[in-house]
Structure 1
Amino acid sequence: MATSQGSEPRVGPEDSVGGASSPAAAIDPADQLARLGRSWVWLLGAAMATLVPGILALVWPDVTLHALAVLIGVYLLLIGAFRFVAVFGRDSDRVPGLIVAVLCVLGGVLCLRNPLQTIAALSLIIGAVWLVSGIVTLHTAIAAKDMPHRGIVMAVAALGIVAGIVVLALPAESARTLTRLLGLWLVLLGLAETAVALAWRSALRRSGITGHEMSGPAI
């Protein structure tokens, strides 16, 4: 018996390969990274990745140069990963954020590749990363006039610029001096980034929407 034409299944755009309901669209990596990057919890995780190494450096200032290089290397790799994911949560130009993420990862690899390098080399790496990251973040915050808590983000960027300049301009004569200097700035930056994450959570709650529906802050 012939089947009536009305009972035949219809194939629409949503049923085609790559359509809205296809498995590939449902688990799109870029969309998942964007949702994660716009979450205040992810921002808080990045802040903890800065704050914890700073506390460790201040609590144990008598670390060897080898241990200090490893600590800085791991810190930069973690921050690079956090910033890479956060880039996908932005609706604006992502290139500056990607440049900062790559710079952080490159700095981390350089520290871990040769952990017995000089104090001047470590200062140059961390100072350059903070300076470039602060400048890029400040530029992005100034350009994004509709960014929630824009002033806090600009303040964090300015703090990063100052930290980079201080580390580059003030030569450390020993690993202990460099450890204390880096520990102090890491704690200050971590606390400032924590304030940004909590401010972002407050903005999301006031808007009454979920974290993946707003463009994330530029840090």
Structure 2
Amino acid sequence: MSMSHSSEPLAGQETNAAGSSLPPAIDPADQLARLGQSWAWLVGAAMATLVPGILMLVWPDATLHVLAVLIGVYLLVIGGFRFVSVFGRDSDRMPGLIVAVLFVLGGVLCLKNPLQTITALSLIVGAVWLVSGIVTLYTAVATKNMPHRGIVMAVATLGIIAGIVVLALPAESARALTRLLGLWLVLLGLAETAAALAWRSALRRTSITGPNVSGPAR
């Protein structure tokens, strides 16, 4: 006795005109979520902060034009990293989107007029760091089940301090500003690297005990 096989497609599959099943459509949001939840993506964002800081410290005599371009590219790249990382979070995404837009806007302002004054450049970077740190700290406090919450809060606090220092102590020369920003970028990059490694540890535990953690706060 032979059994007949159903020709109906499986649930969730689409069919073409000939009746054959088509692979499910790829959701861009799902792809961004998987990328944003990757610890390697967070490491990439940390390196995008650490590398410019190292360049500034080893090249303190960079002109104001070069410094503005370097800071502008840094802000744009970090804005892109933050935008993708937002999709990897299960909590409210709006604060993260605001931070991402703020970084991109700051980068555009730096690149639009790279010959602007030292004071203007300090105000842009300081404001971005301060607001970003406040939003990240708020997200960490509001997300109760965030893994390694203390590390995220420490990174946010460091960003707030960096913003306050840059805003309260404006540099008098391009060399002084380069050293100041380079120092804070290195510190922030190292802190973000620690947060990324902590997130990797959380992901490894999740793969053993089951998915019970939310995405990283960025």
TM-score by length of 2: 0.90
User: Which one-letter code corresponds to 1:201 in the other structure?
Assistant: R
Instruction: Kindly provide the amino acid, as one letter, of the partner of residue 15 in structure 1.
Output: Q
- Distance in 2 between residues matched to 1:150 and 1:185, nearest whole Å: 22
1:3 counterpart residue number: none
Gapped regions of structure 1 (runs ≥ 5): 1-5
**Counterpart Cα distance in 2 of 1:7 and 1:89:** 40
> Within 5 Å, which residues of 2 pair with 1:135-174?
135-174=134-173
How far is the alpha carbon of 1:24 from its aligned partner? 5.0
Residue 28 (structure 1) aligns with = 27
Match of 2:14 in 1: 16
CA shift for structure 1 position 208: 2.4
Deviation at 1:206, TM superposition (A): 2.2
CA contact 2:13–2:24 (8 Å) conserved in 1: no
- Residue of structure 1 in register with 2:18 after alignment: none
Name whichever structure is richer in helix by fraction: 1
Structure 1 position 8, deviation (Å):
5.8
- Unaligned 5+ segments in structure 2 are 16-20
Deviations 1:100-134 (A, max 9, x none): 10110111011111100000110011001000100
Identical aligned pairs, as a percentage?
80
3-state SS in 2 of match to 1:208: helix
CA contact (8 A) 1:14 1:22 kept: no
Shift of residue 153, structure 1, vs aligned partner: 0.2
Task: Tell me, in whole angstroms, the C-alpha distance in 2 between the residues paired with 1:193 and 1:37.
Answer: 15
- Counterpart of 1:71 in 2: which secondary structure? helix
The answer to whether structure 1 residue 52 and structure 2 residue 63 are counterparts is no
State the secondary structure of the residue aligned to 2:108.
helix
Report what 2:120 is aligned to: 121
Aligned length: 209
3-state secondary structure, aligned to 2:12: helix
Quote how far apart the aligned CAs of 1:215 are.
2.6
Residue identity in the other structure for 1:207: T
> How far does residue 93 in structure 1 lie from its aligned partner after superposition?
0.6
Alpha-carbon RMSD:
1.9
Give the partner amino acid of 1:84.
Answer: F
